[in-house]
A and B are shown apart, each in its own frame.
Chain A
Amino acid sequence: MSAPSPNTATGSRASGGIEGTDPTDVEGAGAPPRANGELVFTESWQPRVFATTMRLQEQGLLDWETFRQGLIGQIATHETELARPDDYDYWGCWLRALEDLLTGTAIVAPSELDLSAEAIAARPPDH
């Protein structure tokens, strides 16, 4: 199957300006879970957060290496806190790393995230 590379859908790699920032290239401590070479998502928010991260990187709002180091830090902390291996939550680490980077670089204020979360939590369930 001639599947397009993710970069073809959202602009060329050149627009991001950084070679090798596709997470498919990530190996080692920060590598996403995979099955048969494909990224594994278990909740619908996970691919959205993943895609959001890629968009921010393309727009130059997120430095991939900074993000990756943050992710590795989150995973390391998470692993020391794990009660059972089955509780391993890669995308939870990803989400925290992204939140930290965006608030740390003042792209987003923590209070904005809190307000938005309150509004979403208050929505009727079948929204």
Chain B
Amino acid sequence: MSHHHHDEPHGHHLHGSELADAQTIRAQALEAVLIDKGIMTSTEVDNYIETWNERIGPLEGAKVVARAWADADFRARLADDATNAVGEVGVNPGRLEHLEVVMNEPGVHNVVCCSLCSCYPWTLLGLPPGWYKSPEYRSRIVREPRAVLAEMGLDVEDRTTIKVWDSSSEVRYLVIPERPAGTDDLSEDELVDLVTRDSMIGVARITPPGQS
């Protein structure tokens, strides 16, 4: 394992760019000073970004999931070579490094983490949520996934196997959640609307339509 991990989404990071590093430091310095002065909190910034993320990031991943549900051939191509297959729904694969999809099915639940830092398929899901980057999630989801998922509101039956996928700068994972019951009549666009960010990380199920 190389030691290129750092607390950045790697997908579009300007590796080796001193400009980008200097800007990152200046931006972090500004935020730290404003927090020290009590002008704002890190959580307020997180909340603002999350609101934007709901509009920016997860939509790309949701399009991949909805197509995988609606089109068995696409699902097969996705399993075979996700990095290229996502281009079929308009996601630019050039901004991803190697992408793998992991499919939930009866008896198997997948969940993604990055135990070393915060690697994340952010061209598909937006910026990672704060908890994804927390030391607690990163360490505990590997050791005791069932307990952590339960704490996050997702009870996984004992007979279901939980697979934890540890991201790296080389490989990013996207969970394809199970298609909820009662959605046979929905169009692909309508399916997109059901897919949540957390379901694609593997820490939530998708709520069937009409049960929100």
B-binding residues in A (CB < 8 A):
1, 3-4, 6, 8-10, 38-39, 41-52, 54-56, 59, 61, 89, 91-92, 95, 98-99, 102, 107-108, 112-114, 116-117, 119-121, 125-127
Contact = CB atoms under 8 A, between A and B. Distances in A.
Given A121-B25, A126-B5, A127-B7, A52 B30 contact: yes
A61 B34 CA distance: 11
Interface string B25-69: 111111111101101100011011111101110010000000000
18 contacts: A1-B192, A6-B51, A9-B48, A10-B48, A42-B12, A43-B14, A48-B31, A48-B45, A54-B48, A95-B26, A99-B26, A113-B26, A116-B29, A116-B33, A125-B6, A126-B6, A126-B7, A127-B7
Interface residues of B, number: 43
- Taking chain B's interface residues, is the majority helix, strand, or loop, or is none over half, making it mixed? helix
B9 interface: yes
B93 to A, nearest CB: 15
Interface in B142-159: none
A76 B68 CA distance: 45
A48 B27 CA distance: 8
B88 interface: no
A116 B142 CA distance: 34
Contacts of B31: 48-49, 52
